[in-house]
């Protein structure tokens, strides 16, 4: 479902290596700026695909859990636990592969007004909720409690 979220998220997190993602709205906005690749003020399905391709190390058009976690562990090892949780969210059918349908589902979750593009506000609302949902993972490093 929201699988690309993680991929997208850790692009920011390469630059935000500490686990402190607060204030969430500011973190979300900086992620938006990084992922709006053509800087037109909207995040689109094309940009999902471009981001997604970064993790697809064997270029088969799908992102396996192994590919995904390898990418995370290489770039942001501190986000290992959070990234596992996000992958479970994205992989709606739990087949350990993120495919085109997962892609679309994820995009649709953020595109709340269904105009086929995600504004900064839609992005922020989605990501602030994700950060809150997984607070126990990223605030305490190792899943804890």
| Residue at token pair 């935000």 | 16
Which helix (H) or strand (E) segment holds residue 42: the answer is strand 42-43
What's the min distance (Å) between Cβ of 28 and ligand NAG? 9
Instruction: Give the Å distances, CA to CA, from 115 to 12, 42, 107, 112, 119.
Output: 25, 11, 11, 8, 10
Binding to ligand NAG (CB under 6 A) within 76-115 occurs at none
What's the min distance (Å) between Cβ of 128 and ligand NAG? 9
What's the min distance (Å) between Cβ of 53 and ligand NAG? 29
Binding to ligand NAG (CB under 6 A) within 22-61 occurs at 23, 25-26, 29
Q: Which is nearer to ligand NAG, 33 or 53 (CB)?
A: 33
What's the min distance (Å) between Cβ of 94 and ligand NAG? 35
Q: Which is nearer to ligand NAG, 25 or 70 (CB)?
A: 25
Q: Which is nearer to ligand NAG, 92 or 128 (CB)?
A: 128
Nearest to 85 by CA among 144, 30, 32: 144
The region of 19-27, 54-62, 98-106, 132-140 touching ligand NAG under the rule CB under 6 A is 19-27
The DSSP annotation for 54-106 comes to TT-TT-SS-EEHHHHHHHHHHH-GGGHHHHHHHHHHH-TT-SSEE-HHHHHHH
Distance CA 123, CA 51 (A): 15
**Residue ranges that bind ligand NAG, judged by CB under 6 A:** 23, 25-26, 29
């Amino acid at each position: 479902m929201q699988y690309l979220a993680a991929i997208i998220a850790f692009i920011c997190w390469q630059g935000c290596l500490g686990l402190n993602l607060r204030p969430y709205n500011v973190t979300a906005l900086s992620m938006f700026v990084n992922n709006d690749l053509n800087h037109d003020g909207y995040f689109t399905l094309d940009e999902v695909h471009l981001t997604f391709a970064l993790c697809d190390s064997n270029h088969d058009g799908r992102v396996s859990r192994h590919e995904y976690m390898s990418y995370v562990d290489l770039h942001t090892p501190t986000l290992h636990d959070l990234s596992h949780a996000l992958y479970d969210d994205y992989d709606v059918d739990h087949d350990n592969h993120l495919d085109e349908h997962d892609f679309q589902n994820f995009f649709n979750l953020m595109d709340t007004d269904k105009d086929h593009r995600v504004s900064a506000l839609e992005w922020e609302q989605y990501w602030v909720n994700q950060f809150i949902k997984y607070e126990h993972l990223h605030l305490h490093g190792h899943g804890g409690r």
